[in-house]
Amino acid sequence: MSDGPFDVTIRVAEVQQAEPFPEANKPELVKLHLDLGG
């Protein structure tokens, strides 16, 4: 939990793959495979 409204962590990732997610209740949701680096 953050200590204040400006105590945040921002991460940037590259999308490696996106695929349908039929188990989701909303059809617009997809599974994303991300490369966070490092």
Over residues 1-38, the pLDDT tens digits come to 567 888 888 899 999 999 999 998 888 899 999 999 97
Q: Which helix (H) or strand (E) holds 34?
A: strand 30-35
Cβ–Cβ < 8 Å for 7, 30: no
Give residue 19's pLDDT: 95
What DSSP line would sit under 12-30, residue for residue? --EEEEEEE-TTSSSTT-E
What is the CA angle 5-8-10, rounded to 5?
145
Give residue 15's pLDDT: 97
What ranges do the domains of the chain cover?
Answer: 1-38
